[in-house]
Structure 1
Amino acid sequence: MHIGKNVCDSIIGTLLEIPGKNKDGIAARLDLLNMGVKTDLQPEYGERRTRLPPRPWNLSRAEKREVCNSFYGMKVPEGYSSNIKNLVSLQDSRLLGLKSHDCHTLMQQLLPVAIRSVLEKPARYAITRLCFFFNAICAKTVDVSKLDKLEEDVVVTLCLLEKYFPPSFFDIMVHLVVHLVREVRLCGPVYFRWMYPFESYMKVLKGYVQNRTRPEGCIADRYIAEEAVEFCTQHLSDVSTVGVPSSQKMGVSKPLSGCTNTEEVLPYIEQHMIHIKTAYPKFRKRTKWLQDKHNSTFIQWLRFKVQSELEEDNHGVSENLRWLAAGPNMAVPLYRSYLIKGIKFNIKAQDDVRTTQNSGVYLLAHTMQVASAKDKNPILSNMGFYGVIQEIWDLDYQKFTIPVFRCDWIDSSGLVVDELGFTLVDLSKIGHRNDQFVLASQVKQIFFVDDPMHRGWSVVLSMPNREYNDVIGDEVLGDVIIECEPFTRGMPNVDTFDELVGELGGQNIRGGCEDIWIE
């Protein structure tokens, strides 16, 4: 935790030239002169002020404003981090009041996005490699066989940073980054050992204090009162909660929310496909036509099929299947927010008036892929879809309810993966309008950050999974994240890095950047 915070403070302070945290200065330039390296960066003394030539780590005033504006416009999901907007000072082009968890989120995902359009490629990609490393070691699932390669890559990354940053940047905290992989190898995943949950709960306990002369008593009284209220709510679960708006559903997704994948429904899907092929023998080899016909007629066929089975033998049809075949209530309630497994989803209209973003979703579907409308040989494979929630429906089947989302899905023409693996989407290009609904249990929450490099495009970032008990499910979600963003892939190897950044040309002074003047 402390290593990540100190390294983040050093990087942010050096890039934005924050007093007290900037590792560049006259002393750092004199160190280069004494070492006999990069002598063209030595300070030039004047009568009233000293000039420092700009280095690859220095940002121009316009670039500083661009980085701060990028941070200022970031809206993250609820519970992901503090409000980044409150940490930015646009007047001074600085980040102020960064807590340890804020630095944790910056080093993992947000900093590589904010610096995408500034700095030269070598310095920018070296910082991005370091962020990839921090994200890899903080993952919930760690591949032990890749730890040796990860340890080698972080050593190379620090060597690359030494080419572009001053010697004063490499204090003991930057050196300790090398030992983090060994710590993971000996102690296991990082999230089992960090203090973020306890520090967060300490803030809750401090909020209980009303009488500063008796803090322990205040905490004990409030804690006991909270336990009593929680005990009472378990006996009043069917009563509407006072103070909770009717537009929000603070419930938990039922197990039947994934009903299309249950063993009860799958046999009927296979029977219906056989029925279609028998009824339309001319279209037996047209997979796409059969799938479209199945989607449009399966509900009516299932209703008559279950009804006929009930008339013959009532023991062969379960109660859940009977309610599913009967269909939901036509009066569907709409919600602006829905809480599922501890994750809060909002509709887009709700996010527009809030400082958080909870409307982005990602779906990995085993679906049919076609090259064009005339493609007669589609391929079945996994395909990722990115969307924004527009409406939240709660389908009532009398015995249970199933939440579904109506989303605006991004068309394939508005989806690009760049050279570093970042997924870019154009939120204005909406596609798949004939299939907008998705089960709430099938999606993973993501969020979009405006890409400072390409106007109109957004970078896709994902929320960490909060279900720490579901290890098997997390392994599945790990594959989903790989298609969503580059962070879980680890750092690119050295050969790839050299191909991406090219050569500096042997110049130490950065062109197109203002000189640094010190009074």
Structure 2
Amino acid sequence: MGVSKPLSGCTNTEEVLPYIEQHMIHIKTAYPKFRKRTKWLQDKHNSTFIQWLRFKVQSELEEDNHGVSENLRWLAAGPNMAVPLYRSYLIKCIKFNIKAQDDVRTTQNSGVYLLAHTMQVASAKDKNPILSNMGFYGVIQEIWDLDYQKFTIPVFRCDWIDSSSLVVDELGFTLVDLSKIGHRNDQFVLASQVKQIFFIDDPMHRGWSVVLSMPNREYNDVIGDEVLGDVIIECEPFTRGMPNVDTFDELVGELGSQNIRGGCEDIWIE
């Protein structure tokens, strides 16, 4: 039985936002020829922000009256490289499974939807994409619990459906082709950012699945007395070294869950 300490609230992103702005100014100053290239600037930010933030915060900590919070200090330091993986994770009364867990169950809990304010690129040569809201549909493949010593942050590694394999039929239902996987370089999402969805086979269109959004199903499994703090881990996780991920810039664009049931507290892990 393992126990972790979740970060209360979502203040970590707010604390990081001023540094994001500083980093973008730093990039534009260092590369003036690219200051109007929106996509290039965003890609550069994504690939260098974590290292820049770590150095920036460390420099500020060496100053008197630096004002760096404990949360920001641990975020900048990065998570433990040994990452616990889980088959199921219960957050705000909503149970999420990895696909391998769904494959041996009669219920489905691995489908997720993310509404993101992101860049939309017309083509590979598009140097100035537009920013707008865009929906992404995916299936959870792994559940990671990133340990920042003082708190943990659950993230999902998902197979995201290629945006070109998404249509809306004449009745207004969203159809996706689950075999068409895209966005392979950006698979991770904060667990707090997604809404749970379900996929059912479309009887009229072979190879396509209908996306359904159902009312939250409360998880009422009997829990024993092993309640310590805010998190319970019911089955021992297995760990592995963290792969080389370019950046966890999902912290930058945290949208907050749109599928949170009021009156529920804590995070339960199965």
User: Which category of TM-score, normalised to the shorter sequence, fits these structures?
Assistant: 0.7 to 0.9
Over 3 Å counting, the alpha-carbon distance change for 1:370 and 1:470 in structure 2 is farther
Shift of 1:464: 1.8
Over 3 Å counting, the alpha-carbon distance change for 1:415 and 1:518 in structure 2 is closer
Q: Is the Cα contact below 8 Å between 2:146 and 2:152 reproduced in 1?
A: yes
SS at match of 1:257: coil
Q: Is the Cα contact below 8 Å between 2:195 and 2:258 reproduced in 1?
A: no
Over 3 Å counting, the alpha-carbon distance change for 1:435 and 1:467 in structure 2 is same
Shift of 1:386: 0.1
Q: Is the Cα contact below 8 Å between 2:119 and 2:131 reproduced in 1?
A: yes
Distance 1:273 1:409 in 2: 28
SS at match of 2:126: coil
Alignment partner, residue 342 of structure 1:
93
Distance 2:11 2:203 in 1: 40
* Long gaps (5+) in structure 1: 1-249
Name which of structure 1's ranges 366-375 and 252-261 shifts more when overlaid on structure 2.
252-261
Shift of 1:419: 1.4
Distance 2:265 2:68 in 1: 76
Q: Is the Cα contact below 8 Å between 2:50 and 2:247 reproduced in 1?
A: no
Over 3 Å counting, the alpha-carbon distance change for 1:292 and 1:515 in structure 2 is closer
Q: Is the Cα contact below 8 Å between 1:362 and 1:386 reproduced in 2?
A: yes
Distance 1:277 1:455 in 2: 49
Shift of 1:256: 3.7
Distance 2:250 2:16 in 1: 51
Distance 1:444 1:395 in 2: 20
Over 3 Å counting, the alpha-carbon distance change for 1:301 and 1:452 in structure 2 is same
| Greater radius of gyration (CA) | 1
1:477 aligns with 2:228: yes
Distance 1:304 1:350 in 2: 40
Q: Is the Cα contact below 8 Å between 1:384 and 1:483 reproduced in 2?
A: no
Alignment partner, residue 279 of structure 1:
30
Q: Is the Cα contact below 8 Å between 1:253 and 1:402 reproduced in 2?
A: no
Over 3 Å counting, the alpha-carbon distance change for 1:306 and 1:455 in structure 2 is same
Shift of 1:510: 47
RMSD: 17.4
Q: Is the Cα contact below 8 Å between 1:257 and 1:440 reproduced in 2?
A: no
Q: Is the Cα contact below 8 Å between 1:254 and 1:402 reproduced in 2?
A: no
SS at match of 2:228: helix
Map Cα deviations across residues 130-154 of structure 1 (whole Å, 9 max, x no partner): xxxxxxxxxxxxxxxxxxxxxxxxx
Q: Is the Cα contact below 8 Å between 2:232 and 2:269 reproduced in 1?
A: no
Map Cα deviations across residues 367-388 of structure 1 (whole Å, 9 max, x no partner): 0111111112211111000000
Distance 1:291 1:367 in 2: 10
Shift of 1:420: 1.4
Pick the structure with more helix per residue.
1
1:296 aligns with 2:43: no
User: In percent, how many aligned pairs have the same letter?
Assistant: 99
Pick the structure with more strand per residue.
2
SS at match of 2:14: coil
SS at match of 1:272: helix
Over 3 Å counting, the alpha-carbon distance change for 1:450 and 1:320 in structure 2 is same
Map Cα deviations across residues 449-477 of structure 1 (whole Å, 9 max, x no partner): 00000000000001224799999999999
Which TM-score applies when normalising by structure 2? 0.77
Distance 2:152 2:269 in 1: 66
Over 3 Å counting, the alpha-carbon distance change for 1:285 and 1:429 in structure 2 is same
Q: Is the Cα contact below 8 Å between 2:95 and 2:219 reproduced in 1?
A: no
Alignment partner, residue 513 of structure 1:
264
Over 3 Å counting, the alpha-carbon distance change for 1:493 and 1:411 in structure 2 is closer
Map Cα deviations across residues 40-67 of structure 1 (whole Å, 9 max, x no partner): xxxxxxxxxxxxxxxxxxxxxxxxxxxx
SS at match of 1:438: strand
Shift of 1:412: 1.1
Name which of structure 1's ranges 308-317 and 263-272 shifts more when overlaid on structure 2.
308-317
In the TM superposition, structure 1's runs of 4+ consecutive aligned residues that sit over 3 Å from their partners are: 250-261, 465-519
Alignment partner, residue 394 of structure 1:
145
Q: Is the Cα contact below 8 Å between 1:273 and 1:290 reproduced in 2?
A: yes
Over 3 Å counting, the alpha-carbon distance change for 1:251 and 1:264 in structure 2 is farther
Over 3 Å counting, the alpha-carbon distance change for 1:355 and 1:272 in structure 2 is same
Greater RCO (CA < 8 Å, at least 6 residues apart) = 2
Q: Is the Cα contact below 8 Å between 1:445 and 1:462 reproduced in 2?
A: yes
Distance 2:36 2:211 in 1: 38
SS at match of 2:142: strand
Over 3 Å counting, the alpha-carbon distance change for 1:481 and 1:421 in structure 2 is farther
